[in-house]
Amino acid sequence: MIMGLFGSSKKDELPEERGPLAVALGGAVELDTLGLQASLAAGDPALPPPTGGPMVISAIGTAQLDATTTLTRYYDDDDQILQVMASPGGGRETITGVSLYRPWDSVTPMTRSEWERWTGPNGFVGQPEYDADGIMFARYWGEGAGRVDLVEFSEDINDGDTARSIHQQCMLYARPIGSVEEMLLINIERDIGENVSQQGGSVEFLIGYGLASADVQRV
């Protein structure tokens, strides 16, 4: 996982508040997941429903997706990710989407042929459906019956001690559970700073759910 690239030490002095939620490293947000838990109770989620409560922020990542959208990710020490989409430089009032992701699985392909199985022209990631050990997810991004290109961007992540740039290629899948959608984000990650080859990266699987902006409050 991305957070595994960082050490655990923290500076005594808190940095400035960052992102649309205006949260500093070492600060916290309160997550209200009661409605989500109630919806998931009607189905069989891939992971136990998120418990909510306080989430202490140990790293913050940002990526400019296009001229009108900045992605901000707030991480905790358990690799939980609170992802917020908003206007560049905007505050809470500009938020267009909030989702909560948790790690589910990880694969480290070791050879070029293994990478081709995941990201090649006929690779697993980007196909209309993804079979996760018998759990079927439908592609959420992209149209058509064939494989589509992955979404690609670089995320700058800082934990107060270390700054990293992580190149990412990803695809979002989803399936209905009760009245909500369970999302599977498949993320191919590579540390740009270490100038490693693609073979040095990993394929990460994260399970997530959408939240309302009101479900997330700065503590």
Tens-place pLDDT, residues 115-172: 999 999 999 999 999 999 999 999 999 999 999 999 999 999 999 999 999 999 999 9
Distance CA 196, CA 184 (A): 26
Angle at 61 between CA 167 and CA 151, to 5 degrees: 40
| pLDDT computed for residue 183 by the predictor | 98
Q: Is the pLDDT score of 13 beyond 70?
A: no
CB neighbours of residue 91 within 10 Å? 12
Average model confidence (pLDDT) across the chain: 91
**What phi, psi does 25 have (nearest 5°)?**
-60, 130
DSSP single-letter state for residue 149: P
Q: Where does the pLDDT of residue 42 fall: very low under 50, low under 70, confident under 90, or very high at 90 and above?
A: confident
Distance CA 174, CA 37 (A): 17
Half-sphere exposure of 123 (CA within 13 A, CB side): 21
Distance CA 69, CA 90 (A): 10
The percentage of residues in the chain with a pLDDT greater than 90, rounded to a whole number, is 84
Instruction: Identify any residues that bridge with 156 across adjacent strands, giving them in sequence order.
Output: 62, 165
pLDDT digits (tens, 9 = 90+) for 49-87: 999 999 999 999 999 999 999 999 999 999 999 999 999
Q: Where does the pLDDT of residue 198 fall: very low under 50, low under 70, confident under 90, or very high at 90 and above?
A: very low
